[in-house]
Structure 1
C-alpha cells in the first residue's frame, strides 16, 4: 500500500516533537527553550542522544521486531535490546564526561605561562591543581560520590518507552493485518460460492427458453454473456463504479423478463445519479435474484417490485415479491452469503430490514456508496 503525504508529514511532526522534547521545560521557568546547538554542548548531548534513540525506534519497528520477535526468536531479540541499551548508555557517559565532551565548543582555560602576573610566589603551575573547579558543575555529570548521572536515567527511560511503544504498534498493526487478511479470505470464499450460483440459475433460465424454442433465446445468450463478462472482469475487485453494478442489474432483469414473458409483473425503477459513487460488486443482486427464485409461478399471481433510489451518498434498495409455491429446492446460500458480506464490508454503513410474512417477502437495504 502506498504511503500518503499525510503519513509522512505525521511522522515528520512526531519526530520533531520527540527531538525537541527535552527542551519543553526550562530551568528559567519558561515553557520552551529552543536548543542552542551551536555553542551549548549540553543541548547538543541531549539532541544527539534523542536523535539516535529516534533512529533506533524505526530500526526496531521495521527490522528487529519483524526479523526476530515475530520470527519466534524473542530471547535473541531481548539480548539485542540489552546490547543496544549498553551502547546508548556508553554514548551518554562518553559525551557527558568533561574530558571527552568534544561537543562543547565553550572557551577553554588558557595555559598559565611562567612569569605571568597570575603566578604568585611559591606557586608551582605544574602541581596537581584542577583549574576547572570554578566551572559550575553540570547536572548530568558524575558527582564526587560517583552516582549515576541524570542523563543515564533519561536515556534508560526514553529507550524503554521507545521499545515498548514500537512493540505495541507493531503487534497492533500485525493483528489488524491478520484480521484484514482473514476478512479478505472470507469474502473470496463467499464470492466463490456466489458466482457458480448465479451461473447455475441463469443457465436454467436460458434452458427454459430453449425448451420453448423461443425466438428470444439468442437475446438471452447475449445478455448472459454480458453478465459473465461483468463477473469475470469486475467481481474480484474490492469496489467498482456504481454505474457498472446498476448496468449488471439491468441486464439481469432484462434476462428474466425474456425468460418469464407475461407470466409475472415486474415493477422496476431506478432513480438518482450514479456518477462518482462506488460499491462492492454483486452486493445487491442476490436480493433481486431471490425475488425471482421464490416469487414466480406461472399458475399464480406473481408480482415483483424492485426500486433503487440514490440520494446523496446513500443507496436504498427495495425488493418485494408475493410468496408462491415454488418447486425449486435451494438452501438460500446466495442471500445468506450476501448478508455476511454486508456485515464484513459495511459493518457501520448499512441498514438491512427483512419483512418475512405469510403472503410476501420484502427487503429494504440502505447502503453508503459515496
Structure 2
C-alpha cells in the first residue's frame, strides 16, 4: 500500500525534532538556540553525531532488521550492531578532538615557531611572559580543550542504544500486527467458506420440499434462490456492503421461507428506519433469522417467528424470537456459531449481542453500529 504524504511529513517532523533536540533549553536561558556549526565545537559534535545516528536508525529499521534479524541471523545482527557502535565511538572521538577534526572551523592563530611559549612548569605564571610572547587569554584557555579523552562516549552509546531498541520495538510491533491481521483475514475467509454452502444447502432443502409437493410456487422459489445466490457470489466476499443490499437479501430470504412454509407458520416481519447511506458486513444478520426458521418451525405445532429490524441513526437493532418446537437438526448450528465469531472479530467494540435460550422460546437481540 502506498504511503500518503502525511507519513513523510510525520517522519520529517520527527527527524527535525531529533536533530535539534540537544539545542532545546540552552544554558543562556532561551528555550531554543540554533546550532552554530562553524564556531561552536559542542554544537558541531551533537549535530553530526545525531545526524549519523538518525541515518543508522532507518538503515537498521529498513535493512538490518527485516533482512537479518527477522531471518533468524541474530548473531550476525549483534555483530553488525557492535561494529557500528565502535564506528560511532570513533567518529565521536574525531569530532571531539579539534586537532584531528577536519570539520573544526575555528580560527586558530598559529604563532611562529620561535615565539611559541615554553611548556608550563610548576608555579608557572603566564603574567611573567614577555608581552610579545603572550597568547590572548581566551586562546590560552582553549588549549585545555585540545586533545584529551573523548567526551561523547557515554552520550553516544546511550543515544545509539535507544535508537536500536526503539527501531526493534517498532518493527516487531508492526510485524505482530500484520501477522494478527493476516490471521484474522484467514479466519474470516474460513468462516465465510463455511457459511455460504450452509445457506445454499438449507435453501435448496426448502425448494426441494416445494418440488416434492409439486407446489406451483416452486418456480417463484427458484427465482428467489437465484437472487440470494447472486448476492452471495457478488457481495459475500466484500469487507462491508451497503446496508440496503443486506436488507434486500433478508427480505428475499424471508419471502422464500414464507413461500415454502405457507400457512404452517406465522411470520411477523417488521422493518423500521432508514437504511440508506449505511454499511454492514455481509451475511452478519441472516444466521440469526435462518436459525429461527430452522428450529422454530413444525407443521404439527403452533409455530411463530418474530423478526424486527430497527435502524436509528448509526445503529441497527435486530430482534428475532421463535418458540421451540420439535425439529430434526440438520447440523450443529455452524452458521450461527460462525456469525458470533465474526461479530467478535469485526465488531469487537461496536456490537451488543444477547441470547435468551429458555425452555419454550429462543430470543436474540443484537445491536450493531452501521454508520
Give me the TM-score of the superposition, normalised by structure 2: 0.88
- Tell me, yes or no, if the aligned pair for 1:45 and 1:103 is still in contact at 8 Å: no
Distance across 2 between alignment mates of 1:138 and 1:325? 99
1:231-270 to structure 2, matched below 5 A, reads 231-270=232-271
Secondary structure at 2:237's aligned position in 1? coil
- 1:126/1:93 Cα in 2 relative to 1: closer, same or farther (>3 Å)? same
Matches within 5 A, 1:333-348: 333-348=334-349
Distance 2:217 2:144 in 1: 95
For the residue of structure 1 that corresponds to 2:355, the secondary structure is strand
Q: 1:315 to 1:7 in 2, by over 3 A?
A: farther
**How far off its partner does 1:101 sit?**
3.1
Name the counterpart of 1:225: 226
Query: Aligned in 2, Cα 1:138/1:288: closer, same or farther, shift over 3 Å?
Result: farther
Distance in 2 between residues matched to 1:196 and 1:367, nearest whole Å: 25
Task: Give the whole-Å Cα distance in 2 for the aligned partners of 1:37 and 1:309.
Answer: 68
1:124 is aligned to: 114
2:68 partner SS: helix
Matching of residue 107 in structure 1 with residue 113 in structure 2? no
Contact 1:316 1:364 in 2 (8 A): yes
What's the C-alpha RMSD, in Å, of the aligned pairs? 2.4
1:100 Cα offset (Å):
3.5
Q: Distance in 2 between matches of 1:38 and 1:302?
A: 91
| Match of residue 48 from structure 2 | 48
CA contact under 8 A between 2:96 and 2:151: conserved in structure 1? no
Query: Does the aligned pair in 1 maintain the 2:41–2:96 contact within 8 Å?
Result: no
List aligned pairs for 1:76-87, cutoff 5 A. 76-87=76-87
Q: SS of 1:150's equivalent? A: coil
The verdict on how the C-alpha distance between 1:138 and 1:192 changes in structure 2, with shifts beyond 3 A counting, is farther
**Following the alignment from structure 2 to structure 1, what is the Cα–Cα distance between the partners of residues 257 and 142?**
93
1:155 alignment counterpart: 156
Alignment: residue pair count: 355
Structure 1 residue 277: Cα displacement: 2.1
Aligned with 1:136 (options 142, 147, 150) = 142
Identify the residue that residue 10 of structure 1 maps to in structure 2: 10
Give the aligned partner of residue 131 of structure 2. none
Taking the aligned partners of 1:186 and 1:332, their CA distance within structure 2 comes to 18
18-27 or 91-100, larger mean C-alpha shift: 91-100
**Per-residue deviation, residues 78-132 of structure 1 (Å, max 9, x unmatched):** 01111111222222222332124333433342665xxxxxxxxxx8247888979
Aligned-pair distance for 1:9? 3.2
Relative distance call for 1:129 and 1:61 in structure 2 (3 A) is same
Distance 1:46 1:205, change over 3 A: same
Superposed, which structure 2 residues align to 1:1-370 within 5 Å? Answer: 1-37=1-37, 39-109=39-109, 124-125=114-115, 134-136=140-142, 142-143=147-148, 147=149, 149-370=150-371
Measured at CA, do residues 212 and 277 of structure 1 come closer, stay the same or move farther in structure 2, by a change above 3 Å? same
* Structure 1 position 300, deviation (Å): 1.9
Shift of 1:135: 4.9
Q: Which residue in the other structure is 2:129 paired with?
A: none
CA distance in 2, matches of 1:8, 1:249: 45
Contact 1:42–1:104, Cα closer than 8 Å, also in 2: no
Distance 1:137 1:43 in 2: 19
Q: Deviations over 1:277-324 (max 9, x none)?
A: 222211111000000101112222211111111222211111111111
In structure 2, the CA distance between the partners of 1:136 and 1:197, relative to structure 1 (3 Å rule), is same
Deviations 1:39-67 (A, max 9, x none): 54532332222122112112111221111
- Point out where structure 1 has 5 or more consecutive residues left out of the alignment: 113-122
Q: Render the CA deviation track for 1:247-273: whole Å, top value 9, x for unaligned.
A: 211121121122122222211122222
| In 2: Cα distance, 1:138 partner to 1:24 partner | 27
Structure 1 moving runs of 4+ over 4 Å: 126-133
Once residues 246 and 93 of structure 2 are traced to their aligned partners in structure 1, the CA distance between those partners, rounded to angstroms, is 67
Checking the alignment, whether the CA contact within 8 Å between 1:351 and 1:365 is kept in structure 2 is yes
Q: CA deviation at 1:361?
A: 0.8
